[in-house]
Amino acid sequence: MTKTEIVPGVSLVEAEEAGLSVLCGCPENVVKHLIKTGVIRETESRGVQYETGPNAVLLSDIPVQCGMFSNLAEFPVLQMLYRQGKGIPGHPGNDGTRPMLIGLREQVTAQAEYIYLGNYGLPLVRDLEEAGLSKKVAAERMRMKLAFSFGSIKKTEELLELKVVDKDAIELRKGVFLRRIGLNRYEFLYAGQTVQVDMNLPPGTCYAAHLTGFLIKTPCAHPSP
């Protein structure tokens, strides 16, 4: 296994033999940071250009750190589904496995609902009509939604593999296990190796801004691990 620090509070753990690449932490701009560090890059197969990248997200226990959202999983998940091609039928990037969303039950449930609405918007014709569209326009919008979603509106658990971490270690995939060892601290175990990650921000530090690459220093409170 390998661990790569992306920015403070965000790291990438990879178990290549098991086909698992876990993004630990997903604040705003995390996809841009992954591009900047070379984790996400362009590739080509069967004449199709698409992107590489992680195939799992480990959510922060703490939804807000330093006044900034820690869990904006919609953006890396949509990159996995559409820019990597994992959610596109027949795409060379679709190997039959679903991207994985991992974390405490409360965070996984909240993110699953958020991703569902972020992916589809209002999912029913009735919802569109109640929002003020005429029956004709609502039907046309739904037709477009279905065309872009390959014929059906799917629940998040149909698109993603949801993994809830409780008090015991859980198997993620092919012998890779994960256990929670403290607040926002986790340990990966695989083939006799262990890797620990800490998604707590260092005291007085907020998530790195993408445009400058510098850390934003503030007097924000920091939870004790």
Domain with 163 in it: 2-120+157-198
Asked whether residue 212 is assigned to any structural domain, the reply reads: no
Asked whether residue 56 is assigned to any structural domain, the reply reads: yes
Give the CA distances from residue 152 to residues 35, 123, 130, 144, 179, in Å, rounded to whole numbers and listed in that order.
31, 10, 21, 11, 35
Asked whether residue 90 is assigned to any structural domain, the reply reads: yes
Residues in the chain: 225
Could you give the residue ranges of the DSSP H alpha helices within the chain? 30-36, 74-78, 105-120, 125-130, 135-148, 156-159
Give the CA distances from residue 96 to residues 51, 109, 153, in Å, rounded to whole numbers and listed in that order.
17, 23, 19
For 190, the 3-state DSSP assignment is: strand
Give the DSSP H or E segment for 102: strand 100-103
Work out the burial of residue 177: count CB atoms within 10 Å of its CB; fewer than 13 is exposed, 13-18 middle, 19 or more buried: middle
Asked whether residue 216 is assigned to any structural domain, the reply reads: no
Asked whether residue 143 is assigned to any structural domain, the reply reads: no
| Digitized pLDDT (tens) for each residue of the chain, 225 residues in all | 999 999 999 999 999 999 999 999 999 999 999 999 999 999 999 999 999 999 999 999 999 998 999 999 999 999 999 999 999 999 999 999 999 999 999 999 999 998 988 888 888 889 889 999 899 999 999 898 888 878 888 889 999 999 999 888 999 999 999 999 999 999 999 999 999 999 999 888 888 775 544 343 343 444 433
Asked whether residue 79 is assigned to any structural domain, the reply reads: yes
What pTM value is reported for the model?
Answer: 0.86
Asked whether residue 146 is assigned to any structural domain, the reply reads: no
Asked whether residue 149 is assigned to any structural domain, the reply reads: no
What is the count of structural domains for the chain?
A: 1
**How far apart (Å, rounded) are the C-alpha atoms in residues 206 and 7?**
10
